[in-house]
Amino acid sequence: MKKRIWFAFVLMLMFTITGCGTESIENIAGAKGKNTESSVKEAWKDDKKSVLADLPEISHGLGYIDGHYITNTIEALEYNYERGFRVFEVDLNMTSDNRLIARHDWTPGHYQWLGQDYQATEEVPIPFDSVMSLKIHDKYNTASWEDLLEVMQKYPDIYFVTDTKHKDEENVRTTFSYLVSTTKQIDPNLLDRIIPQIYDQNMLSYVEAYHDFNDVIFTLYHYTNEDIPTATELADWSYRNNITAIAGLPFRLTEELRILLREKNIAMYTHTINTPADAAEFRKNGIGIYTDYLFYNGSEFIKPEGVQ
């Protein structure tokens, strides 16, 4: 986002030096009749097109494999990459010895979900070596953050959307401190293809303390009906803070919110959509999807072999 702000600053400085007024800025920005702030913001938003601009499907939990969902494994990632996916949502959690891995959660039920023979009695992290030694469905392997970075180096068109689960400051800072520092050690350019999800407005400042990411998704699943901001508040705050997309369950994307986000050129996503007819309807209405397995081949949404 820094380069966008710099672009806006240079644009304003240029017109100040040349003596051009507000109307000139509006004409060049292609937004005559709009205020100067909006025109400048639209200009720098066009500086570099976001990977989310065309609403590619986001593969949920690294996608489906062999009848399994939300495995967050490299094997699932590789399989879905071959199917055509390029944007992958990955669940991330810290181990008890502060290593970042791809895993949805530490609940006893999630060990069962992954087919792991581990007798957990409460929702607490375990050490890195312990979790890495546990096979997933007897044949897949848990992915560390370093493993995921290796895949990004192998495939230069892969993007990761992070689902780090927590929104409290301590957990967010612990996770993103590790994520950013480790990525910088391996290849700082990989940060351009990492898209954090934030769960409330405060979380953005915690994340940006470590890196100013090109794209950010504001996802609404942590909110309740009682504490969610209004549509106007969501749209205005997201626009002021350069949020790329807002994601929410279908009922959260009200007509009022959709209109406001379109006016501000903010993308919309919903989750988790696995029915081709529903996916097609959302696409027709300009809404992208998170999905376990549906891939859009240019004309229709298709399921992998074996899925009814």
User: Which residue, 176, 12, 179, is CA-closest to 4?
Assistant: 12
- Please give the pLDDT value at position 226: 96
**Summary mean pLDDT of the chain:** 88
Q: Where are the domains of the chain?
A: 2-45, 58-302
How far is the C-alpha of 287 from the C-alpha of 140, rounded, in Å?
Answer: 33
Phi/psi of residue 44, each to 5°? Answer: -75, -20
What pLDDT is stored for residue 47 in this prediction?
A: 60
pLDDT at residue 82, as a whole number: 97
**154-179 residue pLDDT tens:** 999 999 999 999 999 999 999 999 99
Q: What is the pLDDT of residues 173-231, one digit of tens each?
A: 999 999 999 999 999 999 999 999 999 999 999 999 999 999 999 999 999 999 999 99
Residue 136 pLDDT grade (very low, low, confident, very high; cuts 50, 70, 90): very high
pLDDT band at 125 (very low <50, low <70, confident <90, very high): very high
pLDDT tier at 141, thresholds 50, 70, 90: very high
Per-residue pLDDT at 44: 39
Residue in 54, 77, 24, 36 with CA at minimum distance from that of residue 268: 54
How confident is the model at residue 35, as a pLDDT? 36
Q: What is the pLDDT of residues 249-268, one digit of tens each?
A: 999 999 999 999 999 999 99
- The pLDDT tens digits for 51-79 are 999 999 999 999 999 999 999 999 999 99
Least confident of 40-54, 189-203, 221-235, 275-289: 40-54
Confidence of residue 34 (pLDDT cuts 50, 70, 90): very low
* CA-to-CA separations, 215 to 52, 100, 251, 256, 267, in angstroms, rounded: 9, 21, 24, 24, 11
CA quadruple 304, 299, 246, 79: dihedral sign: positive
CATH class belonging to 58-302? alpha beta
111 has a pLDDT exceeding 60: yes
Higher pLDDT, 53 or 18: 53
Predicted local confidence at residue 305, as pLDDT? 86
Contact 74, 61 (CB under 8 A): no
- pLDDT reading at 295 higher than 60: yes
What pLDDT shows up at residue 173?
Answer: 98
Residue 8 pLDDT level (bands cut at 50, 70, 90): very low
Tokens 């351009």 correspond to what residue?
192
Are 281 and 256 a contacting pair, CB within 8 Å? no
Q: Is the pLDDT of residue 4 over 50?
A: no
More confident: 45 or 102: 102
Higher-pLDDT residue of 152, 36: 152
pTM: 0.86
